[in-house]
Amino acid sequence: EAQVTQNPRYLITVTGKKLTVTCSQNMNHEYMSWYRQDPGLGLRQIYYSMNVEVTDKGDVPEGYKVSRKEKRNFPLILESPSPNQTSLYFCASKLGGPTGELFFGEGSRLTVL
Amino acid sequence: GNSVTQMEGPVTLSEEAFLTINCTYTATGYPSLFWYVQYPGEGLQLLLKATKADDKGSNKGFEATYRKETTSFHLEKGSVQVSDSAVYFCALSDKGNNRLAFGKGNQVVVIP
């Protein structure tokens, strides 16, 4: 089954404790992206990747890191989480090109205390 | 830069009513336009899209027409069901840099 898989789905952590949210897709998509969803702000892009070893900042990259060492994986790293990073995070992927459908994971709800 | 504006506030309506959600955009060039839907507890999924001016996207009874002259992509459905209750996002994809910009979303609640 074609899918984007994120882990963990739910996480409660404390300020400053490094964490990684994994994302994996099985559709051989070139493009992958991370978004955060907050009430009243909609979906905002954190980082995206056009292909292996190619990553770019989105609209809200501060406090986050990503890597794209393999085509299928695109982990999101919070080196020193802060409470303002409490949010619902979505990973998504699609084939290259501007008209393709974006496939989303089910989301990871992160709470930073 | 590119941006998408959706009408403010949730939309509450009765079953079988007509639904319209407004979406306008700002972009250089000719972007592709999308509507995504998010059902409770799930990720977003594509509802419909249009890739050039005057194209009409349609799916599950929903329609939207790419209007370049008014820079709009309004979503419509003639008779909503309770199962259409969800959050709806308008989005555009810039052909130049392949990024998607999303609107803030509209919560739609359909009452039996």
Read off the pLDDT of residues A30-87 as tens digits, 9 standing for 90 and up. 999 999 999 888 899 999 999 999 999 999 999 999 999 999 999 999 999 999 999 9
- Say what the pLDDT of residue A70 is: 97
* Chain A residues with CB-CB distance to B44 below 8 A: 43, 90, 92, 102, 104
DSSP B67: B
* Chain B residues with CB-CB distance to A43 below 8 A: 44, 89, 102, 105
Flag if B43 and A33 touch (Cβ within 8 Å): no
**CA separation (Å) from B31 to A26, A55, A93, B53, B71?**
27, 22, 19, 9, 10
Tokens 């999924």 correspond to B45
Mutate to test the interface with B, among A25, A49, A99 (most CBs of B within 10 A): A99
Our separate counts of H helices and E strands in chain B read: 0, 12
- Say what the pLDDT of residue B30 is: 83
Cβ-in-10-Å burial (0-12, 13-18, 19+) of A21 comes to buried
- Say what the pLDDT of residue A98 is: 76
Flag if B105 and A42 touch (Cβ within 8 Å): yes
Region at A53 (left for phi over 0; alpha for psi -120 to 50; beta for the rest) = left
- Say what the pLDDT of residue A95 is: 87
Please give the structure tokens belonging to residue A56.
């770019």
- Say what the pLDDT of residue B97 is: 65
Lowest-pLDDT range of A15-24, A94-103, B60-69: A94-103
* Chain A residues with CB-CB distance to B42 below 8 A: 106-107
Among chain A residues, the shortest Cα distance to B44 is held by: A104
Q: Could you tell me if A59 and A45 are in contact, meaning their C-beta atoms sit under 8 angstroms apart? A: yes
Q: Could you tell me if A4 and A23 are in contact, meaning their C-beta atoms sit under 8 angstroms apart? A: yes
Q: Of the candidates A60, A91, A87, A61, which has an alpha carbon nearest to the alpha carbon of residue A75?
A: A91
pLDDT, tens digit only, all 112 positions of chain B = 788 999 888 999 999 999 999 999 998 878 999 999 999 988 999 999 999 999 999 999 999 999 999 999 999 999 999 999 999 999 998 876 667 889 999 999 999 9
A94 beta partners: A31
* Chain A residues with CB-CB distance to B98 below 8 A: 31, 50, 96-98
- Say what the pLDDT of residue A79 is: 95
